[in-house]
Amino acid sequence: MSNAITHILKNKGVHVEGNGPYSQIDNFTAETEVLHFLYSLVRLIKPLRILETGTYHGYSAIWMGQACRENRVGRIDSIEKDRDMVRIAQKNICKVGLDKQISLWHRDALDFAKLLGQFKLVEKYGLAFLDSDPALRLQEFNAFKPFMDTNAFFVFHDSHSQEVRDQLAKINNTAGWMDFPTGRGLAICQMSKF
Binding site for ligand SAM (CB under 6 A): 28-30, 53-54, 56-57, 59-60, 79-82, 85, 108-109, 131-133, 136
Task: Tell me the residue number closest to ligand SAM, measured at CB.
Answer: 54
- Cβ distance to ligand SAM smaller for residue 33 or 133: 133
- The nearest distance, CB 137 to ligand SAM, in angstroms, is 11
Residue 55: CB minimum distance to ligand SAM, A: 6
Distance CA 67, CA 72 (A): 8
Nearer to ligand SAM, 47 or 54 (CB): 54
49 or 57, CB closer to ligand SAM? 57
**CB-wise, 151 or 163, nearer to ligand SAM?**
163
Decide if 36 contacts 59 (C-beta within 8 A). Answer: no
Quote the least distance from Cβ 64 to ligand SAM, whole Å: 10
- Distance, in Å, from the CA atom of 191 to the CA atom of 84, rounded to the nearest integer, reads 33
* Among candidate residues 20, 30, 14, the one with its CA nearest the CA of residue 131: 30
Phi, psi of 88 (to 5 degrees): -65, -45
Residue 190 phi/psi, 5-degree rounding, is: -120, 140
As a whole number of angstroms, the distance between CA 19 and CA 45 comes to 28
Least distance in angstroms from the C-beta of 173 to ligand SAM: 26
